Structure 1
Amino acid sequence: MSDSYGPDRHPAEQPGDPAQRQWAPPARPVPDPTRPVYPGPTVPTLAPSVQPGTPPPSGPIPPPTSGPVFGAPVPRPSAPSKGPGWVGLIAAMAVTALVSVGATVAITDATGAVNQSTTTESTTPPVTSTSSGNPDWEAVAAAVRPAVVTIQSEGGGEAGTGSGVIIDQDGNIITNHHVVSNVLEGGTLTVSLNDGRLYSATVVGVDQTTDLAVIRLDNPPDNLTTARLSTSDDLQVGQPVMAVGSPLGLSDTVTTGVISALDRPVVVAGEQKNSSPENPFGFPLPGEETQQTEAVVTNAIQIDASINPGNSGGPLFDETGSVIGINSSIASMASGSSEAGSIGLGFAIPVDLVKLIADQIIQTGQAQHSMLGVQIGTGSAEVNGETRMGAVVAEVQPGTAAAEAGLQVGDVILQIGDHPVVSGPSLTGFVRRFSVGDTVQLQVARDGQLIEVGVTLQAKS
């Protein structure tokens, strides 16, 4: 049993011509599209492949040849392709669709032994602001870029590129679940360091619930630069931030902006469906049942720093060069719009949640989540002459923490701990930040009165 929030119908459930549906680009390759959905710059093809652990060859990149370019979809693979996990933003964004930011690019095959370096380890040093008080982004970029990697995945008939951040000398790297999901049943991961060295990697564990994953270099060098993980407790709206990653496969890309909002409830729901010659995009057909995967609910950091497909799993830094989040999704205009790519609505998973999940994955290979034990929706309550939004309890599951605490159907949860609750997804996102066994105080509206309810969170089963 688990806390659940029922998202609106997925866009893919709507009948009609797929070409007319308001889709944002997928996180994975889609079969045989007629044009790039995220048009990118025309760039030369990748340089000749090199052995993992060796620096890239010197000299100019060979002239462009025919084949895919960054920003264009990968040609349809010979193996049947799994349909993409189409996603939607459950928020007041009627004209946008939320997509996971994983780019589709060609992958250079990397084989052979991995060589180790012998220089000393390092951690990104703290960076101070300039004398004028403004962020020194040049210094931040120089300090943190060596800790950011490009991840190339190939498996299940799919190929994709994402980003990640090195967190320790063992070669553990945090990224998104959707960046590596295509290799969970077999495939290859190739990690490109900032200096061009290539290493094979293995999945340590994934957590689909939070869209987080940890991978590990198979034979890490001794001179890895690791990132410093900060806290998300002290973040402020308007605070400057820097995103580093591989948008559209363009590795080592830096963009800056500000935090636009905190604790933004974002629901990403996906449906897995195999494609076919009659239905190449894997859209559910009218009257056809589909399998709904578990929704990813995050009270995210909203940013206006430009992030695009390929930034998935990459770090979000503050002005000192500390990681404050992991970039995971964007809101994009519908396919028929004149806008494309980033429209200044990006979302990152707060670093405190990232640390909670990553630590569990590294220690046990999986993550455990806390739960209340309720079915919830979004509604309002009248309290002291005021109308307040919150999470409405639709069902209390027997034997759960919620039942033991005395929560009732019709209760409207307005606050958990110090965090105001404004919707069902908002409550779910906050609950996932706590550990199993934590006791939290809920502010509940019941029959026009405010009451306090203490709940000891249980493990999700």
Structure 2
Amino acid sequence: MDSSRTRGRVRCSAHRLLLPLTAGVCAVALVGGCSGSVSSSTPAARSGPSSSPAPDSGTTAAATGGDALQSNYEQVIKNVLPSVVQIESGSELGSGIVYDSKGDIVTNAHVVGKAKQFKVTSATGGSQLHARLVAAYPAQDLAVIKLDKVPSGLKAASFSQSAKIDMGRIVLALGSPLGLSSSVTQGIVSATGRTVSEGSSGGGTGATIGNMVQTSAAINPGNSGGALVGLDGKVIGIPTLAATDPQLGSGAAPGIGFAIPSTMVTNIADQIIKDGKVTNSGRAALGITGRTVVGAGFRPAGVAVVSLTKGGAATAAGLRTGDIVTRVAATPVKSLTELSEALASRKPGQKVKVGYERGSSAKTAEVTLGTM
């Protein structure tokens, strides 16, 4: 299995009020971080020549480093938490991030679901506010809602514009897991460039999302749409999914969560705020409508081309209705999900060889990928 692609079961981290932890299951995990207070004690001095020696320089340096890190954690939480909100829609509960001073809030599409109106509460308290949906983009599990009335002092979060996120980076996840507002968890960036398929049951969008950030920070239902931040206080992603271990039934696989990277978030949010919709997803597309076909033993065997986008990538490459796509570059394709995963990590304009069957003949075409 490609190390950059995550298959198997995943769950969304939206939370249904008054329901158990397993509510809102769909596909992967979220991330978090916590900072506890560090206390130190000074041993009592002994009289006479047998007094304890002073701590060596290594011990002093370690204590100083620990105090600095502790202070950094606390400052980041103090600065970012006012920009994190709790979003309530009927019996559903999730998190969001204040995107700008005009009252726009970015969150996950699976948090807003089919709702159009929302109740919003700042993580730091205050009066409950009302918001409406601007637009949702389920294909990348992102949405923007807007406050009806912008309160004074509304603080927008700062989003990282860097596409480079280093493994091992310390991160904090801020949100409202299980309705516990102002919650913070801590971990590291475990990996980058993951492609994750989100389930469509239990409130998930069924999206396949590429280039996701994997983290060890705890992600629980209700964390979805919150903030994953570095120690510079900038949002590097939106916690979205938590992995589940099939051997544990619906139980979460500890320490495996996924967040949508900030560059993807800002690209989609900016378009929604400006145009009310996504006009350029930045994601590669083949330009077909397809369906999974089954072969011997009723096993998935490829994706049949049901229709083609006029002037699209597949049309330009000579594919026709009825062709069955079986491969993208070196990656076998046996279902729509596998086709989505094969395309998720690629870019529009990239050339790729697509294998397909036409009748009894196996063919290959070089396709210049279009935009979803």
Distance in 1 of aligned mates of 2:141 and 2:12: 18
**Cross-structure match for 2:266:** 355
Match of 2:370 in 1: 457
- Aligned residue pairs, count: 300
Structure 2, gaps ≥5 residues long: 1-5, 32-63, 292-301, 332-337, 357-363
8 A contact 2:15–2:221 mirrored in 1: no
The answer for the alignment partner of 2:187 in structure 1 is 257
Looking at CA atoms only, which structure, 1 or 2, has the larger radius of gyration?
2
Contact 1:414 1:445 in 2 (8 A): no
Q: Which position in structure 2 is the counterpart of 1:44?
A: none
SS in 2 for 1:251: coil
Bigger strand fraction: 2
TM-superposition CA deviations, 1:357-399 (whole Å, max 9, x none): 111111122223452225799xxxxxxxxxxxxxx98759464
Matching residue within 198, 214, 221 for 1:268: 198
Letter in 2 for 1:359: D
Deviation at 1:402, TM superposition (A): 3.2
| Distance in 2 (alpha carbons) for counterparts of 1:310 and 1:294 | 16
User: Quick one: which amino acid aligns to residue 352 of structure 1?
Assistant: T
More helix by share: 2
Q: Is the 8 A contact 2:104 2:144 kept in 1?
A: yes
Matching residue within 297, 304, 329 for 2:208 = 297
| Contact kept? 1:241, 1:316, Cα under 8 Å | yes
Q: Deviations over 1:42-70 (max 9, x none)?
A: xxxxxxxxxxxxxxxxxxxxxxxxxxxxx
What residue number does 2:104 align with? 172
Q: How does 1:258-407 map to 2 (within 5 A)?
A: 258-271=188-201, 295-299=206-210, 300-334=212-246, 340-341=251-252, 343-368=254-279, 369=281, 371-374=285-288, 397=308, 399-405=311-317
Give 1:259 shift: 1.1
**Distance apart, 1:269 and its partner CA:** 2.8
Q: Take 2:168 and 2:13, find their aligned partners in 1: how far apart are those partners? A: 30
For residue 138 of structure 1, the aligned residue among 74, 84, 92 is 74
Alignment check: 8 A CA contact 2:328 2:342 kept? no
1:170/1:205 CA distance change after superposition, 3 Å: same
The corresponding residue for 2:59 is none
Cα distance in 2 for partners of 1:241, 1:99 equals 15
Instruction: Provide the residue aligned with 1:70 in structure 2.
Output: none
Which of residues 329, 335, 339 is equivalent to 1:413? 329
Q: Gaps (5+ residues) in structure 1?
A: 1-6, 12-22, 40-72, 74-83, 89-97, 102-129, 274-292, 378-391, 416-422
Equivalent pair of 1:38/1:340 in contact (CA under 8 Å): no
1:327 deviates by: 0.8
Deviation of 1:204 after TM superposition, in Å, equals 1.2
CA contact (8 A) 1:204 1:215 kept: yes
Offset of residue 453 of structure 1: 5.7
Q: CA deviation at 1:142?
A: 1.4
Asked if 2 retains the 8 angstrom alpha-carbon contact of 1:150 and 1:251, the reply is: yes
List aligned pairs for 1:61-210, cutoff 5 A: 87-88=26-27, 98=28, 136-154=72-90, 159-184=91-116, 188-197=117-126, 198-210=128-140
Q: Structure 2 counterpart of 1:164, which letter?
A: G
Deviations 1:316-365 (A, max 9, x none): 1112111111111111345956x945611111111111111111111122
Residues 151 and 192, structure 1, Cα contact 8 Å, conserved in 2: yes
Pair 324,405 (structure 1): closer, same or farther in 2 beyond 3 Å: farther
Between 1:341-350 and 1:401-410, the stretch displaced more is: 401-410
Aligned to 2:21: 38
Question: Quick one: distance in 1 between partners of 2:318 and 2:167?
Answer: 36
Q: Report the alpha carbon displacement of residue 182 of structure 1 after superposing the two structures with TM.
A: 4.4
Please tell me the residue identity of whatever aligns with 1:455: T
In structure 1, how many angstroms separate the alpha carbons of the residues matched to 2:190 and 2:314? 33
| In 2: Cα distance, 1:146 partner to 1:400 partner | 45
Question: Among the aligned pairs, what percent are the same residue?
Answer: 33
Q: Secondary structure at the match of 1:225?
A: coil
CA deviation string 1:248-268 (max 9, x = no partner): 111111111111121211111
Residue 79 of structure 1 is matched in structure 2 by none
In the other structure, the counterpart of 2:360 is none
Alignment of 1:7-46 (within 5 A): 27=14, 29=16, 37-38=20-21
Shift of 1:220: 0.7
